Amino acid sequence: MGGVTSVGAAIAVQLDNVGAIIGGGQISGRVFLSVEKDNVTADSLNVKFFGREATRVQYTVQNGDNSETRHAYDERVIVCMDCVLAIFPKVVSRGRYEFPFAMKIPFGLPGKQGTRSGSEWFVTEYFLEARLHRYGMFAWDVHNHQEIFLLDPPSPIKIPSFVPPVTKPIYFCCCIDKGTVTVLANCDDTNINSGELFNVDYSVHNESEATVKALEIRIDQTMRYSADGHVNHVSSVMFQKRIDQSELEGIDKMPRHGNGVVPVDYATIFQQLMAQTKRATFNFPNCRSSMRGQLGTVQHALVVRVATPFCVDDPEIHIPLTVINGPQVAFQGMVPAVGAAYQRPADWNAMVAPPVMLHGAITAFDPSKGPPPPGMMPQPGMMQPGVQPGMMQPGMQPMPVMAQPQQPNYGAANAVAQNVPVNCVDVRRFPSHNRKGADVY
The per-residue pLDDT for range 175-200, each reduced to its tens digit, is 666 677 888 888 989 999 888 899 99
pLDDT at 406 over 80: no
> Is residue 121 very low, low, confident or very high in pLDDT (cuts 50, 70, 90)?
very high
**Concatenated DSSP letters for 249-290?**
-S-------TTPPPPP-HHHHHHHHHHT-SEEEEEPP--PPP
Using DSSP's 3-state secondary structure scheme, residue 61 falls into: strand
Write down the H helix ranges in 188-265.
Answer: none
d(CA 248, CA 314): 17
**pLDDT attached to residue 199:** 92
**pLDDT attached to residue 272:** 66
Residues 84-99, mean pLDDT to the nearest whole number: 90
CA-closest candidate to residue 218, choices 202, 231, 234: 202
Of 16-25, 116-125, 196-205, 282-291, least confident by mean pLDDT is 16-25
- Per-residue pLDDT of 241-298, as tens digits, reads 998 877 776 565 555 545 555 555 666 666 666 666 688 999 999 889 999 999 999 9
**pLDDT attached to residue 164:** 83
The full length of the chain comes to: 441
Architecture of domain 9-154+330-438: Sandwich (2.60)
Of 116-120, 363-367, 382-386, least confident by mean pLDDT is 382-386
Q: Does domain 166-324 have CATH number 2.30.42.10?
A: no
Of 139-153, 336-350, 421-435, least confident by mean pLDDT is 421-435
**pLDDT attached to residue 210:** 72
- What are 230's strand-pairing partners? 227
Q: For residue 301, what are the contacts with CB-CB under 8 A and spacing of at least 6?
A: 219, 220, 222, 318, 319, 320, 321
**Which amino acid appears at position 154 of this protein?**
P
pLDDT at 32 over 80: yes
Q: What are the domain boundaries of the chain?
A: 9-154+330-438, 166-324
Asked whether this chain's domains 9-154+330-438 and 166-324 adopt the same fold, the reply is: yes
